């Protein structure tokens, strides 16, 4: 499976990008108050277009519809699954013939109160043992969020149990410590 990544968001020509996305995506991107949000919204969509063209031969601009919990799917191409994510440093996309999830997060300061809300006791112990708790937390968070994107559930109040009963082989995590982000792909 190929992951599409743009971690040079500042180089994106926003004007050109806005001309090369669907009207639906253009409107979504322009709702962002700040230019960085607009850039990320356009960049991740352009990654999806590239992936769909390469993997599925789909060259038109994808139009989204949304499931019960907000999970998007492509109108007219329900047999293709995708997942998109972005953070300050990067936009990522993955496309597959089966359900898939991806999440990318910036590595920030470790916040113990967020960890206590979202992590099980075992995961908290793992974070506390780590040389870099902020990296361990971000790794686990991207695993959880990518899985919730795969299932279409989204972030919920059962975050602590999210990874229970899921084999480690369901996840591929890439740590780009040099660029300050981590992403995880989930496949079941």
pLDDT digits (tens, 9 = 90+) for 133-159: 999 999 999 999 999 999 998 888 899
Joined tokens for residue 117: 């809300």
How many Å apart are CA 117 and CA 119, to the nearest integer?
6
pLDDT computed for residue 38 by the predictor: 97
Q: What band does 4 get if pLDDT is binned at 50, 70 and 90?
A: very high
pLDDT computed for residue 155 by the predictor: 83
CB atoms within 10 A of CB 64: 17
Nearest 5°: the CA angle 133, 138, 160 is 95
Its pTM stands at 0.95
Bridge partners for 73 per DSSP:
65
Percent of the chain with pLDDT over 70: 100
Tell me: pLDDT of 181 over 90.
Answer: yes
pLDDT computed for residue 70 by the predictor: 86
């Amino acid at each position: 499976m190929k992951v599409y990544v743009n971690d040079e968001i500042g180089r994106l020509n926003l004007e050109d990008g806005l001309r090369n996305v669907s009207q639906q995506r253009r409107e979504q991107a322009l709702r962002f108050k700040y230019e960085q949000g607009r850039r990320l919204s356009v960049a991740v969509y352009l990654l999806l277009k590239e992936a769909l063209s390469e993997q599925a031969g789909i060259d038109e601009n994808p139009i989204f519809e949304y499931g019960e919990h907000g999970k998007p799917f492509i109108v007219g191409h329900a047999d293709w699954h995708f997942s998109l994510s972005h953070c300050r440093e990067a936009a990522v996309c993955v496309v597959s013939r089966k359900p898939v999830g991806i999440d990318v997060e910036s590595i920030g300061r470790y916040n113990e109160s967020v960890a206590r809300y979202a992590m099980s006791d075992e995961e908290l112990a793992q974070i506390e043992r780590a040389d870099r708790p902020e990296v361990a937390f971000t790794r686990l968070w991207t695993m959880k969020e990518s899985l919730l994107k795969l299932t279409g559930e989204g972030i919920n109040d059962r975050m602590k149990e999210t990874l229970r009963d899921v084999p480690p082989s369901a996840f591929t995590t890439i740590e780009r410590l040099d660029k300050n982000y981590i992403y995880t792909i989930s496949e079941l």
